[in-house]
Amino acid sequence: MTPWLIFGAKAVGGLACQMGVGPAFTIVERRVAAWIQGRVGPNRVGPLGLFQPLADLVKFISKEQIVPADADRVLFLLGPLLVFAPPIFGFCVIPYGNMIGDEHLQIANLPIGVLFVMSVISTGVYGMMLGGWASNNKYALLGSLRASAQIISYELSLGLAILIAVMMSSSLDLNVIVEQQAGKGFGAWNVFGGGHLSQLPSGLLGFGLMFICALAENNRLPFDLSECEAELVGGYHTEYSSMSLGVFMLSEYLSMILMCGLMTSIYLGGWSFPGITDPSDHSILAGLISWAVFMTKILSMMFVYVWIRWTLPRFKYNQLMDLGWKAFLPASLVNIALLAVIGVMGV
């Protein structure tokens, strides 16, 4: 019984990290957007407007679910779920805290965690393609083509940027990657070279590339061409209404959380923070502190996402593709070569 209880507790904890923060972050996004634009933002529902996501949920649920005539009903309704599932699935290998007793705070301790996340992330694009295609609407189809082309292009650079961290840590196990960065000061974080000063440029470049690719991968501004509501008819979810649209929107936040969690884990030291967490302390309190550190890191990164969203204008489609294929891909390949040379020379 006990292993199942522990597994259940870990699963609930991991899900709470993601499913709790996702809706909560919609209110952060709206408030920050409002502040940047000189407005106040939603502040009426509950204290400080904190219950706004609940009101949004009620609105989404109480709207009519419309399936267009001649749309493929099954695929149409399956689309949002196929976008919704991968981020949750991927989050189960992200370590969200230090060990408590003998248990890693991680739903599934896979030795190939990084590969698993990469492969799971890339399946999210099928939901978008199916949703756009099944809508029986040419604008939705074009939107889904835009979205999938963008995601597939940036997945390449994203994978190479992740590879930098993997090369620094010589492991695909996210737990090992985080533990290598924990308890040795800021210099041990992969973004600062993973303990070797000679790797600092590679770490910084890798993290920068990964951050930008994650923006593109999550369809966030300045790369939100797939769903620029104002001028391109909504994108792949043009025909969606009610909760299926809500699921699309929620899964956008969930994949943001997954991306931020992955970036935090492989580049920014995961749940560790010099002076606050102690990797050798496996008590419950230390576990909770490390969890709080991890969540703070994720939320700060998502705040930067929102900050960037309301600062930078959108790229044109050709600029987006140029950036992905002609700038990021060569840059990450050069970065890998550089890091490999440094690694072989053993400086």
Partner 1 sequence: MANDDRVGSRDVEPKGFLAKTLMKLYVPSVLSGMKKTMEYMIRPKATLQYPEVKRVTRKGYRGEHRLKQDEQGRMKCVACFMCQTACPAECIEITAGPSPWPDRDKAPVQFRIDMMKCIYCGMCEEACPCDAIELTETYTQVSTSREEKIYDINRLLSN
Phi, psi of 116 (to 5 degrees): -60, -50
Does 280 engage in binding with partner 1 (CB under 8 A)?
no
Does 312 engage in binding with partner 1 (CB under 8 A)?
yes
Kindly tell me which of 40 and 284 has the beta carbon lying closer to partner 1: 40
In 3-state terms, what secondary structure has residue 345?
Answer: helix
Kindly tell me which of 7 and 307 has the beta carbon lying closer to partner 1: 307
Kindly tell me which of 43 and 136 has the beta carbon lying closer to partner 1: 43
Q: Which residues of 89-123 are buried (b: 16+ CB within 10 A; e: fewer)?
A: bbbbbbbbbbbbeebbbbbeebeebbebbbebbbe
Kindly tell me which of 38 and 101 has the beta carbon lying closer to partner 1: 38
Kindly tell me which of 240 and 315 has the beta carbon lying closer to partner 1: 315
Does 38 engage in binding with partner 1 (CB under 8 A)?
yes
Does 307 engage in binding with partner 1 (CB under 8 A)?
yes
DSSP assignment, residue 103? E
Does 216 engage in binding with partner 1 (CB under 8 A)?
no
Does 310 engage in binding with partner 1 (CB under 8 A)?
yes
Which residue in the set 40, 285, 344, 345 belongs to the binding site for partner 1 (CB under 8 A)? 40
Cα-based torsion angle of the residue sequence 184, 185, 189, 195 in order, rounded to the nearest 10 degrees: -60
For partner 1, which stretch binds (CB under 8 A), given 33-41, 63-71, 90-98, 165-173? 33-41
Which residue in the set 17, 21, 27, 32 belongs to the binding site for partner 1 (CB under 8 A)? 32
Does 36 engage in binding with partner 1 (CB under 8 A)?
yes
Q: 243: which 2 tokens?
A: 């909760």
DSSP string, 287-342: HHHHHHHHHHHHHHHHHHHHHHHTTSPPPPHHHHHHIIIIIIHHHHHHHHHHHHHH
Name the minimum Å distance from CB 34 to partner 1.
9
Does 275 engage in binding with partner 1 (CB under 8 A)?
no
Kindly tell me the burial class for residue 324, based on how many C-beta atoms sit within 10 Å of its own C-beta (0-12, 13-18, 19 or more). buried
User: Are the CB atoms for 134 and 244 separated by under 8 Å?
Assistant: no
For the chain, the straight-line distance linking the first and the last C-alpha, in angstroms and rounded, comes to: 50
Which residue in the set 311, 330, 334, 347 belongs to the binding site for partner 1 (CB under 8 A)? 311
Which residue in the set 8, 16, 35, 316 belongs to the binding site for partner 1 (CB under 8 A)? 35
Name the minimum Å distance from CB 213 to partner 1.
15
For partner 1, which stretch binds (CB under 8 A), given 2-10, 148-156, 167-175, 304-312? 304-312
Kindly tell me which of 172 and 323 has the beta carbon lying closer to partner 1: 323
Does 326 engage in binding with partner 1 (CB under 8 A)?
no
DSSP assignment, residue 242? H
Which residue in the set 37, 62, 280, 318 belongs to the binding site for partner 1 (CB under 8 A)? 37
Q: Is the dihedral of CA 140, 210, 152, 332 positive or negative?
A: positive
Name the minimum Å distance from CB 322 to partner 1.
13
Alpha carbon 99 to its chain's center: 23
DSSP string, 157-197: HHHHHHHHHHHHHT-S-HHHHHHHHTTS-GGGSGGGTTT-G
Does 318 engage in binding with partner 1 (CB under 8 A)?
no
Name the minimum Å distance from CB 190 to partner 1.
21
Peptide linkage before 274 cis (omega within 30 of 0):
no
Kindly tell me which of 126 and 325 has the beta carbon lying closer to partner 1: 325
Does 48 engage in binding with partner 1 (CB under 8 A)?
no
Kindly tell me which of 35 and 186 has the beta carbon lying closer to partner 1: 35
In 3-state terms, what secondary structure has residue 280?
Answer: coil
Name the minimum Å distance from CB 50 to partner 1.
16
| Residue ranges in contact with partner 1 by CB under 8 A | 32, 35-40, 43, 307-308, 310-312
